[in-house]
Structure 1
Amino acid sequence: MDIVGTGFLARSLRPLAGRHPGIVALAAGESRTSGASDVDYAREAALLRDVAKQCAADGQRLLFFSTAATGLYGLAEGPGREDTPVTPASPYGAHKLALEEQLRDSGVDYLILRLAHLVGPHGRHHQLIPTLVRQVRAGEVALHRGAARDLIGVRDMLTITDRLLAAGVRADTVNVASGFAAPVEDIVDHLAHALRLVPRKKYVDTGVGYAISTEKLHALVPHVADLGFDSDYYRRVLNDFIAAGGHA
């Protein structure tokens, strides 16, 4: 696998660099779920176009990472599925969906993975868990009432990606998630307990609860059943993050 990018996702994929020849993983582009500009989005679209063109010329498959977060599935009725139309809930979700369509229309061999909130060492400063950890340490956390998020650890994302590529899955879109969305307040409480801190909570009434369907994932990668995805999974992911230093 050739990896395009140098950030959190690209670094997380490095253990697969010696596997899956003929695969190009596009792990670069805009990762901010808010605050990005049209210029930022256009830059990522141009990068995808260039990488797809090169993959087509070289006969390679392009592995593209999209989102399964609230920006895409936040307005879905029931668990967000890959095979049903979705109405993006944010400009970021609309952008990622547009990139998916751009890739499908390009004619290149591809696989699209829609990622839940990826958690692991060296996460970006603006990502959910590093942001919450900073707020807990600062003594005050802004909570969106009713919000829930599906977390997935880096190691499990790697295992799933490895299995999907080994199985030859192509021309498809797959949610990569635990299938369990934890209330953000529970996530904060667990982080605070692990860090032995008691932050103040400031509530905002704009939270979004949602769920991600993992039915297709389980069908394509039966091994997912052994990864321990359950309602307590997010706690183990957070424990691993704290044990690794808990820093962005």
Structure 2
Amino acid sequence: MEVMGSGFLAANLATLATSHPGVVVAAFGVSVASGIPEADFAREATRLYELISRCERRQEKLVFFSTASAAMYSMSGETGREDGPVFPSTAYGRHNLALEAVLAASPVDYLVLRLTHVVGPAQHAQMLVPSLVRQIQSGVVRLHRGARRDLIDVADLVTVVDRLLATGVSRTVVNVASGTAVPIERLVDHIEAELGVRADREYVSDVTSRPVSIARLRGLVPEIARIGGEDYYRRVLSKYLGEYAACRTPATATATTT
């Protein structure tokens, strides 16, 4: 398996580099949900178009990471399903849906994985958990009222990718999440308890969060049943909080856990 990219996902997927010959993973491009220049979206699209052409020539399978966040699933009262309607609420969500459509219209063998909030080592400072930790340590954390976040350990994501490729599933979209969306306040509560600090909470807007269906994932990867549940998010947070607590970079006003 060839992993294209040098960021957080690429580094973790490198453990599968000797597995799944003939598979190319597009682990590059835009990784945060807000404040993205149009040029960054264009650059990712161009690179994916080139990779599609290459995979067609070489008859390779292409794995693309999209999003299962509220940026994609924003329709109130509906569970986010891969075969259901989607109304992306941000430029980031619309960008990912457009690239999914490009893949679906192409002749290549592909697998689209819509990822929830992945947590692991050496993440971008604006990703959910590093951002929350940094803000809490600064004394003020900015939240969206009504927000819920589904976390998944990057180690579990790597297992899911490995198993999906082993089963040969192709030309489809799969949500990759724990299946348990936790109120954002509970994430903050746990981080504060672990770090032994308290932060003031500022609410910047109200949002409606949709649950994400993982029925398709559970059918394809039965092992995923071991993750999720009420305590899963606590285990994931506790596993990586020490690293981000040690990175005392200044908090920014734009990191609002979207």
Pairwise TM-score range, normalised by the shorter structure: over 0.9
Cα distance in 2 for partners of 1:133, 1:92 equals 23
Q: Alpha-carbon deviation of 1:107? A: 1.2
The number of aligned residues is: 247
Would the aligned equivalents of 2:194 and 2:238 in 1 still touch at CA under 8 Å?
Answer: yes
SS at structure 1 position matched to 2:235: helix
Partner of 2:252: none
Counterpart of 1:192 in structure 2: which amino acid? E
Q: Alpha-carbon deviation of 1:207? A: 2.8
> Could you say if the C-alpha distance between residues 247 and 15 of structure 1 is closer, same or farther in structure 2, counting changes exceeding 3 Å?
farther
Cα distance in 1 for partners of 2:190, 2:204 equals 20
Q: Map 1:41-120; keep pairs closer than 5 Å.
A: 41-120=41-120
Instruction: Find out whether 1:212 has 2:212 as its counterpart.
Output: yes
Partner of 2:231: 232
Q: Map 1:1-248; keep pairs closer than 5 Å.
A: 1-226=1-226, 228-246=227-245
> Could you say if the C-alpha distance between residues 16 and 71 of structure 1 is closer, same or farther in structure 2, counting changes exceeding 3 Å?
same
SS at structure 2 position matched to 1:72: coil
> Could you say if the C-alpha distance between residues 76 and 162 of structure 1 is closer, same or farther in structure 2, counting changes exceeding 3 Å?
farther
SS at structure 2 position matched to 1:70: coil
Q: Alpha-carbon deviation of 1:244? A: 4.4
- TM-score, normalised to structure 2's length? 0.92
Cα distance in 2 for partners of 1:200, 1:79 equals 32
Counterpart of 1:155 in structure 2: which amino acid? A
- TM-score, normalised to structure 1's length? 0.96
Q: How well do the aligned residues superpose, as a CA RMSD in angstroms? A: 1.3
Cα distance in 1 for partners of 2:32, 2:66 equals 12
Q: Percent sequence identity over matched residues?
A: 46
> Could you say if the C-alpha distance between residues 48 and 76 of structure 1 is closer, same or farther in structure 2, counting changes exceeding 3 Å?
farther
SS at structure 2 position matched to 1:13: helix
Counterpart of 1:180 in structure 2: which amino acid? T
Q: Alpha-carbon deviation of 1:203? A: 1.9
Counterpart of 2:88 in structure 1: which amino acid? P
Would the aligned equivalents of 2:24 and 2:60 in 1 still touch at CA under 8 Å?
Answer: yes
> Could you say if the C-alpha distance between residues 31 and 106 of structure 1 is closer, same or farther in structure 2, counting changes exceeding 3 Å?
same
SS at structure 2 position matched to 1:158: helix
Q: Cα deviations across residues 158-201 of structure 1 (Å, max 9, x unaligned)?
A: 11111100000111100000011111111011111101111111
Listed as ranges, the gaps of 5+ residues in structure 1 are none
Counterpart of 2:147 in structure 1: which amino acid? A
Q: Alpha-carbon deviation of 1:245? A: 4.9
Cα distance in 2 for partners of 1:99, 1:76 equals 24
